[in-house]
């Protein structure tokens, strides 16, 4: 075995390099599929929990969320929360212990993602988060809900494609069994500290999707705002810091040359071995010797 390894060390190393290159190419797709699977499972689990709720509990949770938004609409958004305010926020729309408060669907870019309380990094690495100082995603007059998500993570697409949204496009937010629909009416690029476009406006029902821009650079924030419109059936029911360049675009440029070089060396080595009678004789001799051992 040792003799064989010494004889074929170059081939083994090239095959290992080939495997690494293939893995590099496949990782973004596999990782994104894996996270999409878990995101779907989270939404299914949420819907299952909602379906088993008692009617009185359902009504109380929804009424409390609407009252929370109404109170916030009067006081205005407080960008620095006290411990008491944060605790009150965490109690809102708490269906189970997962932290999911609902989910967001953006048909144009084929996105459906669970929406979690807060925008901590452990949330934004796998899904999207509700900016805790803003209105809850149940709508209402004088409310403005803000949802934040990363772009270009190596393991999930998340808000990577919201740059494709245009004025007139729509998305929905579902909480419990209630769905509210928003139509894009404003798209802006602002400085990270500029919160003026996220304020509550009197009698307006807004929601804004937030991510970083330019792609892979992170210097600004992209705000896609929508105003509430009636649902299709007629019933009108800033924190994205760590952005990485989408590896699905980088990996091929890194892996393809490596793979081509390895394949070329492997082919040349194989052809030389076949053409050299001494190598062939030596190979046969070593194989026969190994069999005897």
167's torsion region: left (phi>0), alpha (psi -120 to 50) or beta? beta
Residue with tokens 């209630």: 178
Are both 78 and 121 inside the same structural domain?
Answer: yes
CA distances in angstroms from 36 to 39, 63, 140, listed in the order given: 5, 31, 30
Same-domain status, 88 and 172: yes
pLDDT (0 to 100) of residue 64: 97
Assess whether 192 and 238 both reside in one domain: yes
* Residue 137 and residue 231 in one domain: yes
Q: Are residues 206 and 79 in the same domain?
A: yes
Asked if 232 and 187 sit in the same domain, the reply is: yes
Q: Are residues 82 and 33 in the same domain?
A: no
Q: Give the pLDDT of residue 114.
A: 95
Q: Are residues 100 and 124 in the same domain?
A: yes
Cis peptide before 94 (omega within 30 of 0): no
Question: Containing domain of residue 228, as a range?
Answer: 55-245
pLDDT in tens, 73-90: 999 998 899 999 999 999
For 217-228, what is each residue's pLDDT tens digit? 889 999 999 999
Check residue 271 and give its pLDDT.
55
Do 99 and 199 belong together in one domain? yes
Q: What is the CATH number of the domain that holds 73?
A: 2.40.260.10
The whole-angstrom separation of Cα 35 and Cα 37 is 5
Structural domain count, the chain: 2
Which residue ranges in the chain fall short of pLDDT 70?
1-2, 4-37, 152-155, 233-293
How far apart CA 73 and CA 76 sit, in angstroms, is 5
């Amino acid at each position: 075995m040792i003799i064989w390894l010494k004889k074929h060390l170059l081939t083994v190393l090239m095959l290992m390099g080939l495997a690494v290159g293939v893995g590099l190419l496949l990782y973004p797709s596999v990782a994104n599929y894996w996270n999409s699977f878990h995101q779907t499972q989270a939404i299914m689990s949420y819907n299952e929990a909602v379906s088993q709720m008692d009617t009185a509990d359902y009504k109380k949770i929804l009424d409390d969320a609407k009252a929370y938004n109404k109170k916030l609409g009067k006081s205005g958004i407080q960008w620095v929360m006290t411990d008491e305010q944060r605790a009150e926020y965490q109690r809102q729309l708490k269906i189970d212990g997962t932290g999911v408060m609902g989910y967001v669907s953006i048909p144009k870019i084929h996105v459906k993602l669970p929406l979690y309380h807060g925008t901590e990094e452990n949330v934004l690495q796998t899904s999207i988060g509700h900016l805790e100082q803003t209105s809850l995603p149940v709508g209402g007059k004088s409310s403005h809900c803000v949802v934040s998500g990363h772009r270009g993570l190596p393991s999930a697409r998340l808000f990577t494609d919201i740059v494709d949204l245009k004025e007139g496009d729509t998305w929905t937010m579902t909480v419990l069994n209630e769905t509210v629909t928003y139509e894009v009416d404003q798209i802006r690029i602002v400085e990270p500290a500029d919160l003026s476009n996220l304020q509550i406006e009197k009698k307006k029902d807004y929601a804004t999707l937030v991510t970083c821009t330019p792609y892979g650079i992170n210097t600004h924030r992209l705000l896609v705002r929508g105003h509430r419109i009636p649902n299709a059936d007629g019933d009108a029911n800033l924190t994205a810091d760590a952005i990485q360049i989408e590896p699905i675009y980088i990996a091929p440029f890194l892996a393809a040359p490596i793979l081509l070089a390895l394949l070329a060396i492997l082919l040349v080595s194989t052809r030389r071995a076949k053409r050299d009678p001494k190598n062939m004789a030596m190979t046969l001799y070593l194989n026969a010797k190994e069999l005897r051992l």
